[in-house]
């Protein structure tokens, strides 16, 4: 058992999956910053603000994920070269098109939600309430965002 009472082997598996999630969050964060900086067109004012709100939230989640990995007794990855190798979410191309950017958000959230659901299962099996609670909160928030961004796209 580790210092917080979680089986060491299960904590290691959780930390690896959390590092994978962290890589995806980092790439997503960089994409959203780029969307914020480069947005143009009819919905500029609305999307510029929304992208800023989102990247500010993402940076908090990135820190929480890294700290959770540390809490489990492992080290969070911090190298973008590793994030790029690991992440399913890929760097977005240079785009100023709001519709394309919002679709990218929906696609990225779908990936994150899927990964977080897998972590929710693992953390439940490991009796890791800290990770479980974090994943549950993220999923709830992001499901609502997917609905809202989909409504923006009239889907």
DSSP-assigned states of every residue in 50-102 = HHHHHHHHHHHHHHHHHHHHHHTT------HHHHHHH-SS-PPPS--BHHHHH
- Whether the CB-CB separation of 118 and 17 falls below 8 Å is answered with yes
Residue 70 lies in a domain: yes
- Compute the distance between CA of residue 116 and CA of residue 132 in angstroms, rounded to an integer: 9
Residue 80 lies in a domain: yes
Residue 107 lies in a domain: yes
pLDDT of residue 15: 98
DSSP letter at 23? H
Residue 1 lies in a domain: no
Give me the domain span that covers residue 79: 8-152
| CATH label of the domain that carries residue 29 | 1.20.1260.10
Taking 90 as the threshold, does the pLDDT of residue 155 lie above it? no
pLDDT of residue 11: 98
Residue 101 lies in a domain: yes
Taking 90 as the threshold, does the pLDDT of residue 94 lie above it? no
- Compute the distance between CA of residue 51 and CA of residue 129 in angstroms, rounded to an integer: 31
Tokens found for residue 31: 């994409």
pLDDT of residue 33: 98
């Amino acid at each position: 058992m580790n210092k917080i009472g979680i089986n060491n082997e299960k904590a290691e598996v959780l930390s690896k999956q959390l590092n994978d999630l962290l890589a995806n969050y980092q790439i997503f964060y960089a994409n959203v910053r780029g969307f914020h900086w480069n947005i143009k067109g009819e919905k500029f004012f609305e999307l510029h603000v929304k992208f800023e709100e989102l990247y500010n939230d993402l940076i908090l989640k990135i820190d929480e994920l890294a700290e959770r990995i540390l809490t489990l007794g492992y080290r969070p990855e911090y190298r973008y070269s590793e994030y790029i190798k690991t992440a399913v979410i890929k760097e977005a191309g240079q785009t100023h098109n709001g519709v394309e950017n919002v679709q990218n958000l929906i696609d990225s959230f779908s990936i994150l939600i899927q990964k977080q659901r897998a972590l929710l299962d693992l953390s439940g099996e490991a009796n890791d309430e800290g990770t479980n609670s974090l994943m549950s909160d993220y999923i709830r928030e992001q499901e609502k965002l997917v609905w809202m961004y989909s409504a923006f796209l009239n889907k």
